Amino acid sequence: MSLREKVKNHLNKNPFKGYFRRNRLRPPGAVMEEKFMELCIRCARCIEVCPYESVKRADLFDRLQIGTPYVYADERACYLCMLCPSVCPTGALDPNLKEPEKVRMGIAYIEQDKCLNYLYVKDENAGGTQGFAMICSTCYNTCPYTDEAIKMEQFLLPVITDKCTGCGICVEKCPTDPKSISIIPAGMGNEDLAGLYYQRSRKNFKKAGDAEGYSGDDAIKKKMSIDASGSKPEFKFDYETTDKIDGWTE
Amino acid sequence: MAGQSKIKRYRRLVQAAVFMMMFIIPALNILEIYFIKGTFYSIDVGNAVAADPIAVFQAAMSSKSVNIYMALSVVIPILLMLFAGRVWCSWMCPYHFIVEGVSFVKRKLGMKKSFPVHTPEKKRRTETARLIILVCFIALAGVAGIPLLNLISAPGIISSQALVLVKFHYVTFELVFIIALIIAEFVFFPFFWCRLFCPTGTFLSLFKSERGMHLKRVSSSCSMCGSCKRACPMGLDPVTDGSSLLCHNCGDCIDVCPDNKKQETLRFISGRQHNFPS
């Protein structure tokens, strides 16, 4: 598609609908974004019933989406309790959806140049292990559908499968900064719907075999700076700590 | 029921209760008591559902579909409208409650001695204007293809902001709109938003029927003193405009009517009874 066609295509779309951003998801059971914007009356009932305070009310920076419900996966993910679809008065969240495994809020994808496990494998394949012995696997461990939605290849490399519900728990828990796993919202991978926000969500979907060619020198440098032989780290406690324990010698 | 009526006291009680409910409902929901849940866009009490008809209407219009949830949720508000008139505005709406506070402050400050009483032409113009504004608003929402009017629905915004405040301890930008309205309320004529612009109130008043509860002068003992005119927050003449779409059955005129002490003169009636010749 030429640039001119792309621009024309974008102008033909309703600018009030379809605004996507990574890790910003509609609550579970949401119909497609365009339909959602038509149906959602901003009544905030999904926000009210959410026991995890995951669903939040969009603010001014979300433009005309202001007032609509969002799950910001990097702040607080959706824990798939399935309360919000049952209270939606207009059917913007499908009220017939009861099974959490059928939720498709989006799909997770791992940025392999940031993920600690991928960096570890890359380092190991390159032959060096100095300072790289950091294996995380948090996404695998926190996923509510471990071994279904996320699988470990070579026992080390997390791979997303198409059973991913897009709940974002892995994103919330991911220890790297910036997050090395993120959720592409449903609809963002659909060029017709997302327009300018179109993003190929299946970039490394179910493709983890070749451990060669990862980049991410910054992340490696950061990890190289971690040194066990330096000074003792200081921790802050809100209670008194003692340096010595009776009967023990260091 | 002759004698001094206390409608205003009951009304204040209901208004205060509804205002408190906005904060109590989210608190109950945090405690996982889900018997009553929702905001003034849409609320559930047990199994009974109610939703703002204009919100549902816009959702149905922009998505070009109606589902059973939407259809059921407008039944209660519309029935209330048909039977009791526009009582939502005067007895429940939190924004109206706030604005009544504003006009009280204005009177205390001496900014306005009394509500203006409008001439019949002006009242007619007001009625036409608010309907035209509603149609324009709906057309705007239709062009945008999203329920745009919910962004300016004062009671919905106030209650959802109360929810966000109770649950997350912050407020979102929508509150700025309400603050702007309250400031404007000090500058413009009283109840300008309720009277002319409010999409919720205007849409609800379309369902006001002649047979529902409305104001009527029922006896000849009226001394034409005009105290009801001065008390009316909407600038109507209660003696003649009882069934006007602008009248929201607040009952202030019944409270101030001096003739009501001797013989029942001005009261709420339902149905087409007591057609007293004026």
Query: Beta-strand (E) ranges in A69-209?
Result: 69-72, 106-110, 150-153, 157-160, 181-185
Q: Smallest Cβ distance to B69: which of A44, A48, A95?
A: A95
Of B129, B132, B169, B137, whose CA–CA distance to B153 is shortest?
B137
Low-confidence winner among B18-22, B114-118, B152-156, B247-251 (lowest mean pLDDT): B114-118
Question: Is the predicted pLDDT of residue A3 greater than 50, yes or no?
Answer: yes
What's CA A246's distance to the chain center, in Å?
46
Share of chain A above pLDDT 70, in %: 68
A234/A171: higher pLDDT? A171
Residue A116 in any domain: the answer is: yes
Cβ A41–B69 below 8 Å, yes or no? no
User: Would you state the pLDDT for residue B159?
Assistant: 92
- Mean pLDDT of all residues in A223-246: 64
Q: What is the C-alpha separation between A32 and A18, in angstroms, rounded? A: 9
Residue A101 in any domain: the answer is: yes
Residue A182 in any domain: the answer is: yes
Q: Smallest Cβ distance to B146: which of A16, A44, A87?
A: A16
Task: State the pLDDT confidence band at B1, using cuts at 50, 70 and 90.
Answer: very low
Is B121 part of the contact surface with chain A (CB cutoff 8 Å)? no
User: Would you state the pLDDT for residue B278?
Assistant: 42
On chain A, the residues whose CB falls within 8 A of the CB of B37 are 45, 48-49, 87
Q: Smallest Cβ distance to A16: which of B34, B49, B145?
A: B145
**Contact of A72 with A10, CB cutoff 8 Å:** no
On chain A, the residues whose CB falls within 8 A of the CB of B171 are none
B104/A242: higher pLDDT? B104
pLDDT tens-digit series, residues B209-240: 878 888 888 877 788 888 888 888 888 888 88
User: Would you state the pLDDT for residue A168?
Assistant: 92
A235/A72: higher pLDDT? A72
Residue A213 in any domain: the answer is: yes
Residue A124 in any domain: the answer is: yes
- Number of structural domains (chain A) is 1
Q: Which residue, among B32, B63, B73, B158, would best test binding to A if mutated, counting the most A CBs under 10 Å from its CB?
A: B63
Question: Is the predicted pLDDT of residue A198 greater than 80, yes or no?
Answer: no
* Separation in Å, CA of A10 to nearest CA in chain B: 16
User: Would you state the pLDDT for residue B196?
Assistant: 86
Share of chain A above pLDDT 90, in %: 16
If DSSP states are collapsed to H, E and C, what string results for chain B?
CCCCCCHHHHHHHHHHHHHHHHHHHHHHHHCCCCCEEEECCEEEECCEEEECHHHHHHHHHHHCCCCHHHHHHCHHHHHHHHHHCCHHHHHHCHHHHHHHHHHHHHHHCCCCCCCCCCCHHHHHHHHHHHHHHHHHHHHHHHHHCCCHHHHHCHHHHHHHHHHHHHHHCCCCCHHHHHHHHHHHHHHCCCCHHHHHHCHHHHHHHCCCCCCCCEEEECCCCCCCCCHHHHHCCCCCCCCCCCCCCCCCCCCHHHHHCHHHHCCCCEEEECCCCCCCCC
Domain that holds residue A214: 15-224
CA–CA distance from A47 to each of A58, A78, A165 (Å)? 11, 12, 20
Question: Is the predicted pLDDT of residue A30 greater than 50, yes or no?
Answer: yes
* Complex ipTM value: 0.83
Is A97 part of the contact surface with chain B (CB cutoff 8 Å)? no
User: Would you state the pLDDT for residue A220?
Assistant: 59
Residue A247 in any domain: the answer is: no
Residue A164 in any domain: the answer is: yes
On chain A, the residues whose CB falls within 8 A of the CB of B49 are 89
Cβ A49–B49 below 8 Å, yes or no? no
**Contact of A107 with A164, CB cutoff 8 Å:** yes
Residue A244 in any domain: the answer is: no
